[in-house]
């Protein structure tokens, strides 16, 4: 697999192979794709972001991250397929052209590389980071309970041994802090999309409280349109709504932080997985999952592009 | 490598607030080492929980004695992991 044209996107790969393929995409589409390192994980693995841009200075941007819960492998696989799709569709798909002529796009393909490697080598069901907690035999923090949004509130555990442990303080995890620092230093991010996989949901804030956000009507409308676009391909059914009512109350989540930071278009996807397969979605469903997700993503992109704020 | 032989995933369906509360209590019991894939939230919303083989009986007794409905969603996680590993091996060879 020496180039993105021969890479098998329909298979699960170890971290090194994913990082190599990111380099291949950059090499193949150097005019619009570049790679940035936004930090290092707890175990010193690089955190790489693919930047899709046609130029301009500090254009409004869309942020996408995938795989913050390491074991949800189809998210990292979907993100990689999406990277190739955006790069290869530029100049061919008017929607992608129009987007990239207006905005930049940042894609963090593996948001939790330590957890991802651990899920390949030690424990297939690992979801947390790999940071050590002083005084506890248990390792890791749930990185989607670690953001500065209702930190430590309902739906997060204070027990370091729990799979939803919120960590010692907001942004304590370097993987989270690196994204926060990047978004803050960029200063012009208009959409923040986090990709997970379990039970087919498309959600918007809030999770830490069941109060409605100011923009609920608009975000609900955007999400429903996106979910319909996604469903149109294979009929996969998605539930849409605020995290709190669609799934459960959970504090310290990324899209609550991004919304409160002023990024109106904040969404979280839970990709195709009924639970019958757990997080072990069969490899032959990777590309269908990526394809349908692309329909939903594109629908959100178009709305963000056409509704500057 | 952690072995998940005999671990099951149960889909639990609480039908009222009291059952949701009981599931949240179950979640807090550290010795059981339960991994909730979908956390308990509202009545009639399912919760999915991975239960280590060693605790299966305890958890099932807990649920049954309190009248909480559940079904086995994944019979044996290790079998699923093995299948995935086989697929990855075949892909690498291809």
Question: Is residue A43 annotated as a catalytic residue, yes or no?
Answer: no
What percent of chain A lies above the pLDDT cut of 70? 99
Structure token digits, residue A77: 């696989």
Query: What is the pLDDT confidence band of residue B93, given thresholds at 50, 70 and 90?
Result: confident
Is A189 in contact with A183 (CB distance < 8 Å)? yes
Which value does ipTM take for this structure? 0.92
The mean pLDDT value for A121-125 works out to: 96
Option in A159, A250, A278 nearest B37 (CB):
A278
User: Looking at the DSSP assignment, which residues form a beta bridge with residue A203?
Assistant: A241, A268
Chain B: closest CA distance from residue A230 (Å): 23
Looking at residues B32-41, what average pLDDT do you find?
91
Residue A245 has, within 13 A of its CA and on its CB side, a CA count of 12
Q: For residue A239, is pLDDT > 50? A: yes
pLDDT above 50 (res A1): no
Mean pLDDT score, A108-135? 97
Compute the average pLDDT of residues A88-116.
Answer: 97
User: B68 vs chain A: nearest CA distance in angstroms?
Assistant: 19
Task: Convert the pLDDT of each residue in A145-162 to its tens digit.
Answer: 999 999 999 999 999 999
**B85 pLDDT more than 50:** yes
Do the Cβ atoms of A292 and A211 come closer than 8 Å? no
Whether residue A8 and residue B2 make contact (CB cut-off 8 A), yes or no, is no
**Per-residue pLDDT at B59 exceeds 60:** yes
Test B50 with A278 for CB contact under 8 angstroms: yes
Q: Which residues of B touch A159 (CB under 8 A)?
A: 28, 30
Residue of A nearest to B78 (CA): A124
Helix, strand, or coil (residue B67): coil
Average pLDDT estimate for A265-278: 94
Q: For residue A5, is pLDDT > 90? A: no
The C-alpha of A121 sits at a distance from chain B's nearest C-alpha, in angstroms, of: 7
Chain A residues within 8 A of B77 when measuring between CB atoms: 125, 278
Which positions in chain A touch B11 (Cβ < 8 Å)? 275
**Residue range A192-206: mean pLDDT, rounded:** 97
Task: Characterize A22-36 residue by residue with b for buried, 16 or more Cβ atoms within 10 angstroms of its Cβ, and e for exposed.
Answer: bebbbeebeebbeee
**What is the per-residue pLDDT across A48-89, written as a single tens digit (0 to 9) for each?**
999 999 999 999 999 999 999 999 999 999 999 999 999 999
Q: A160 to chain B: nearest residue by CA?
A: B30
Average pLDDT over residues B30-36: 85
The answer on pLDDT for B91 being more than 90 is: no
- Between A157, A198, A280, which is nearest B80 by CB? A280
pLDDT of residue A3: 58
């Amino acid at each position: 697999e020496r180039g993105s044209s021969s890479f098998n996107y329909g298979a699960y790969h170890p971290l090194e192979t994913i990082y190599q393929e990111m380099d291949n995409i950059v090499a193949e589409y150097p005019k619009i794709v570049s790679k940035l390192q936004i930090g290092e994980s707890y175990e010193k693995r690089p955190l790489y972001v693919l930047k899709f841009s046609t130029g301009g200075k500090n254009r409004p941007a869309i942020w996408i991250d995938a795989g913050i819960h390491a074991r949800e492998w189809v998210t990292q696989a979907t993100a990689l397929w999406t990277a190739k799709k955006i790069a290869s569709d530029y100049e061919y798909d008017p929607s992608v052209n129009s987007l990239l002529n207006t905005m930049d796009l940042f894609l963090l393909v593996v948001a939790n590389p330590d957890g991802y490697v651990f899920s390949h080598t030690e424990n297939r069901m690992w979801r947390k980071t790999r940071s050590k907690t002083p005084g506890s035999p248990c390792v890791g923090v749930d990185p989607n309970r670690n953001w500065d949004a209702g930190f430590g509130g309902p739906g997060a555990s204070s027990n370091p041994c729990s799979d939803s442990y919120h960590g010692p303080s907001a942004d304590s995890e370097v993987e989270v802090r690196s994204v926060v620092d990047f978004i803050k230093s960029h200063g012009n991010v208009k959409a923040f999309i986090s990709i997970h996989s379990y039970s087919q949901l498309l959600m918007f804030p809030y999770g830490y409280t069941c109060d409605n956000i100011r923009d609920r009507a608009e975000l609900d409308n955007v999400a429903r349109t996106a979910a319909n676009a996604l469903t149109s391909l294979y009929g996969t059914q998605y539930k849409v709504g605020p995290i709190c009512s669609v799934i459960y109350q959970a504090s310290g989540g990324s899209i609550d932080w991004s919304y409160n930071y002023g990024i109106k278009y904040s969404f979280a996807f839970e990709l195709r997985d009924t639970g019958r397969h757990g997080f072990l979605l069969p490899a032959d469903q990777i590309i269908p999952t990526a394809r349908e997700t692309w329909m939903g993503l594109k629908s959100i992109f178009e709305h963000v592009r056409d509704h500057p704020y | 490598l952690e072995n998940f032989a005999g671990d099951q995933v149960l889909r639990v369906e609480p039908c009222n607030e009291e059952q949701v509360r009981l599931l949240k209590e179950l979640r807090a019991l550290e010795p059981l080492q339960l991994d909730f894939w979908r956390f308990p939230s509202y009545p009639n919303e399912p919760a999915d929980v991975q239960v280590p083989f060693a605790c299966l009986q305890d958890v099932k007794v807990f649920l049954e004695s309190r009248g909480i409905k559940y079904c086995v969603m994944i019979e044996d996680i290790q079998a699923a992991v093995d299948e995935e590993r086989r697929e990855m091996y075949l892909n690498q060879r291809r």
